[in-house]
């Protein structure tokens, strides 16, 4: 099997395995919230920047959309055509079921981001990526190339992500360790192989199928954007932990970068 597929298909199985755990913890919460007209999960700091972009009528794709709650929120904020792509069959089926049940006009498609059909090329005003997407991807330059081809000219890429700096630090479950001690390399060519489960929602421990997490540095991300014909429009860093793994760093020690927002525009 092609090296990239080896990783993405393993991650697909692991995410299919994880979704029932997440759903046990939050499915009824999301059903309840999206039963309210106009509900949105989008908060500061991305809210202000998305409001400046003005989503009204814009065609939006969410890559690695999981169960679709962010894309449905963007739709409720006024976006036009909304399409979510995710490799997990279970996540996509939850997203489609909820969107149909509450009449939220989003389409969710099961696809590896590397295999998104060419018919979507030049279709989107905005590609949205949020919290915990880039690390699952074995080929960042290839991903940026796909983003570039999906965007219309002058279309924008919006990334709200965990900061690569945090990849070096112990996670909250390493309770005896100083949360600001550097224990992992910043530059890492091989992926982490995880089998500890990913129920960061319900926090249920389970032995999972193997999954692969890749560390992309800030220069990988910035140069990935620039080398694929996109111009950097905005970059901001924040001390807030959006990963649910490094919350101790918000209250202990000096403020360090734990999340960032990047906006780029296709030329």
Ligand X SMILES: C[S@@+](CC[C@H](N)C(=O)[O-])C[C@H]1O[C@@H](n2cnc3c(N)ncnc32)[C@H](O)[C@@H]1O
Nearer to ligand X by Cβ, of 202 and 253: the residue is 202
User: Smallest distance, Å, CB 267 to ligand X?
Assistant: 26
**Any idea what the Cα angle at residue 124 is, between residues 152 and 134, rounded to 5°?**
105
117-to-58, 107, 109, 111, 205 alpha-carbon distances in Å: 20, 14, 10, 9, 36
Instruction: Tell whether residue 46 is a contact of ligand X (CB under 6 A).
Output: no
Instruction: Tell whether residue 139 is a contact of ligand X (CB under 6 A).
Output: no
Nearer to ligand X by Cβ, of 108 and 165: the residue is 108
Nearer to ligand X by Cβ, of 26 and 180: the residue is 26
Angle at which helices 140-150 and 218-226 pack, to 10 degrees? 40
**CA distance linking residue 118 with residue 120, whole number of Å:** 5
Enumerate residues 99-128 that contact ligand X by CB under 6 A.
Answer: 112-113
Closest-by-Cβ residue to ligand X is: 132
When binding is defined by CB under 6 A, the residue of 11, 208, 243, 249 that contacts ligand X is 11
Instruction: Tell whether residue 259 is a contact of ligand X (CB under 6 A).
Output: no
- Total interface residues for ligand X by CB under 6 A: 19
* Nearest-10 Cα torsion for 75, 266, 85, 91: -70
Nearer to ligand X by Cβ, of 55 and 71: the residue is 71
Burial-class residue 201 by CB neighbours within 10 Å (0-12, 13-18, 19+): middle
**CA distance linking residue 72 with residue 75, whole number of Å:** 5
When binding is defined by CB under 6 A, the residue of 17, 55, 66, 84 that contacts ligand X is 66
Instruction: Tell whether residue 96 is a contact of ligand X (CB under 6 A).
Output: no
Cβ neighbours of residue 9 closer than 8 Å, sequence gap 6 or more: 1
Residues in contact with ligand X by the rule CB under 6 A: 8, 11, 15, 64, 66, 70, 85-88, 91, 112-113, 130-133, 136-137
């Amino acid at each position: 099997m092609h090296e990239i597929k080896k990783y993405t298909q393993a991650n697909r199985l692991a995410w299919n395995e994880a979704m029932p755990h997440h759903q046990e913890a939050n499915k009824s919460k999301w059903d309840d919230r999206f039963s309210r007209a106009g509900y949105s999960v989008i908060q500061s700091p991305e809210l202000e920047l998305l409001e400046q972009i003005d989503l009204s009528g814009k065609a939006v794709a969410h890559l690695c959309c999981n169960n679709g709650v962010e894309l449905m929120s963007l739709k409720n904020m006024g976006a036009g055509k909304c399409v979510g792509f995710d490799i997990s069959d279970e996540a996509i089926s939850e997203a489609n079921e909820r969107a149909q049940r509450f009449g939220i006009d989003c389409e969710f498609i099961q696809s590896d981001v590397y295999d998104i059909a060419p018919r979507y090329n030049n279709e989107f005003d905005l590609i949205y990526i949020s919290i915990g997407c880039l690390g699952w991807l074995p080929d960042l330059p290839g991903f940026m190339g796909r983003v570039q081809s999906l965007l219309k000219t002058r279309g924008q890429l919006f990334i709200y992500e965990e900061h690569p700096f945090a990849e070096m630090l112990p996670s909250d479950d390493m309770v005896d360790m100083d949360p600001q001690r550097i224990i992992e390399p910043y530059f890492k060519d091989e992926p982490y192989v995880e089998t500890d489960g990913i129920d960061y929602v319900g926090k249920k421990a389970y032995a999972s199928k193997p999954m692969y997490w890749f560390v992309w540095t800030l220069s990988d991300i910035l140069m990935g954007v620039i080398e694929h014909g996109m111009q950097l429009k905005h970059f901001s860093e924040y001390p807030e932990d959006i990963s649910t793994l490094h919350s101790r760093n918000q209250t202990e020690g000096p403020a360090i970068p734990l999340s960032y927002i990047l906006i780029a525009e296709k030329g």
